[in-house]
Amino acid sequence: MKFAGIVEYDGSDFCGWQRQSHAPSVQETVERAISLVANHEVGIACAGRTDTGVHALGQVMHFETNAQRDMRSWLLGINSNLPRSVVIRSISQMPDDFHARFSALSRTYRYIISNEKVRPALLANRAAWERVTLDETRMQAAANTLVGKHDFTSFRALACQAKSPIREITRLTIHRQGSLVILDVTANGFLHHMVRNLAGVLMSIGKNENPPQWTKEVLTKKDRSLAGVTAPPQGLYFLSVQYDPKYKI
């Protein structure tokens, strides 16, 4: 049987989603908890890997097992074996053709910036901090250039292993909520560090260091060295995944 679960986690204490030999990962933590409930070793696949310090509100993973448990037992049993920083929000049985990664139609990330003169304490690990006042209107004007299907070579990490840099952004919005500037982006897929590089470019424009049309120049040149600083990981959240409605996730 195949099951899917929605995972929420604070990534501050993890080396990222993917299992690593040198540090604790979200994947290893969740696999261990599921295995204890299933009474056998279980491996999981996720909708999209996250890096060290990156958080998630709606990560999706799936696993397969022959263990017989009802949905309530799976949910309560797994969560009772997870640390406070990780929780399974829901779990459901899925058809055999479902795959957390390959069945995804699009993914949405959120980047949160604490935009105030003094660094935040409670948000220290949950938001990026920028002391210079950001102009979210300029940032949105620049962001509009990035919507659509493009070669995002300038916005991928040098170590990115994706075969193609072509991605399609369907939504990229920036809005202010008090001292927080929030960036939401939806695309059919993301390159390594793509959202953090987008955020870095847009923050530069918001600080008046570059004009709004700079995004088009960076995109066209296809040169990562032109795109400036990668924004820090603690502001990034894996927000949600969109699937065919038949999966009812």
List for the chain the helix, strand, coil content (%; round to 5): 25, 30, 45
From residue 153, give the alpha-carbon distance in Å to each of 139, 145, 190, 197, 222.
Answer: 20, 15, 11, 11, 5
Q: Which residues of 173-204 are buried (b: 16+ CB within 10 A; e: fewer)?
A: ebeeeeebbbbbbbbebbbbbbbbbbbbbbbb
Which position among 51, 135, 151, 184 bears the catalytic label?
51
C-alpha closest to that of 43 among 56, 28, 58: 28
β-sheet bridge partners, residue 187: 107, 169
Tokens describing residue 124: 């220290």
CA–CA distance, 151 with 200 (Å, rounded to integer): 18
**Please, how many CA atoms are within 13 Å of residue 227, restricted to the half-sphere of its CB?**
28
Do residues 197 and 51 touch, judged by C-beta distance below 8 A? no
| 51 noted as active-site residue | yes
Name beta bridge partners: 183: 111, 174
Query: Partners of 49 in the beta sheet?
Result: none
Distance CA 110, CA 237 (A): 5
**Which pair of tokens denotes residue 89?**
């929000």
Catalytic residues: 51
